[in-house]
A and B are shown apart, each in its own frame.
Chain A
Amino acid sequence: MEFDDKVPIYYQIEQYINREIIVGNLAPGDQVPAVRQLALTLTVNVNTIQRALAELIRDGILVSERGKGNFVTTDTAVLAQMKQRVIEDELAETYDHLAGLGMAPAEMVAALEGYIKERKEGGSHD
């Protein structure tokens, strides 16, 4: 995994695990790999993983079971809220970028609609 060096890494790992859940690589009730394993897989330090997991547990995304490990919550309402937050973050970023180019909200909507139409017709797959 490539990290943005200007954003706290624990936060990027939180986002990474959220995305793994959204795309279904981690399902509700699944066990998350052990801290040390995650540290090795992502080449970051154990404290960073622990902080990311602590934040996810605090948010209710993960549930810690003493002596067993961490599991993705089976509370689908919590997961739906998380997905909504991730989508809003993406939208906020895109909005800021487009606003930075001087686009008005109406122009953004028109541009996005036009883009989606073009993608559909072009049959692009990326």
Chain B
Amino acid sequence: MTEALAIQGLGYRRNQKQILKDINLTLPTGQIVGLLGANGAGKTTLMRLIAGSAINFRGAISVAGVTTAPQRKAQVSFSAQMDGFNPSWRVGQVADVMTALFPDFRTADFLQLAQLLALDQKQRIKRLSKGNQRKLQLAVTLSRRASLYLLDEPFDGIDVMTRKAMLSSILRWTPEQATLVISDHHVSDIDQLLDQVVVIKDQTVVAQEAADTIRTQGQSIEAYFESFYGGEQHD
């Protein structure tokens, strides 16, 4: 079976600065994966590279068997894919734009998700609170029928009740054969959803482990993650 994601020897530099190096990573289909790392560890850059929105890297990235950036864009639904949208657009207009950009976008799903997450269709993007912008990103991302979903810090600035609604949305709308990668630096936001975790530190992947394996050793995922950062991370 084709892997959801296969990365070999990935390296990436920007402005003569090494952002990512020596990344090898394979993810199977049908899993929820936590991409864990401190702020600035390179999680967002890695997602941008996978999604095809950053190019000029070393190595190879393959998503559901396809390798070129345009092909990958068609297979990956990335939470930052609406970042360039006009902030004056209303929530309802976003669906029209997404439909034009991506043939796999399902407006009916988007309307249901928007309702579940209590998003007002008439509200302009720029008038949305930070939390509502995160919810809109989630609704847009999950409304595509993709092979790989990338959610970059989806719970940043989200309160507990909203987080529950978002977690339910993720479980309900992610297709069973798809793989979902969630980046987070607050592991407790997502730990009960995860099949496995990937830890990023010092510009590379330092660990990949099944959640069950970690817990079978009597360790929480949070403690496992923190063991790589040695208590240096506080926020």
Contacts and interface: CB of A to CB of B under 8 A. Distances in A.
7 contacts: A5-B222, A6-B219, A6-B223, A9-B215, A40-B171, A43-B171, A47-B31
Nearest to A7: B215
Interface in B61-114: none
Contacts of B193: 43-45
A43 B215 contact: no
Contact of A43 (B192, B211, B220): B192
Secondary structure call for the B interface: helix
A10 B212 CA distance: 8
B60 to A, nearest CB: 27
Contacts of B218: 6-7
A8 interface: yes
A10 B213 CA distance: 12
A5 B188 contact: yes
B192 A9 contact: yes
Nearest to B220: A5
Nearest to B212: A8
Contact of A45 (B171, B215, B216, B220): B171
Given A9-B212, A45-B171, 7 more contacts: A5-B215, A5-B220, A7-B218, A39-B171, A43-B167, A45-B195, A47-B30
B226 to A, nearest CB: 13
B212 to A, nearest CB: 4
B25 interface: no
A46 interface: yes
A40 B168 CA distance: 6
A35 to B, nearest CB: 9
A40 B32 CA distance: 14
A44 B167 CA distance: 9
A47 B171 CA distance: 11
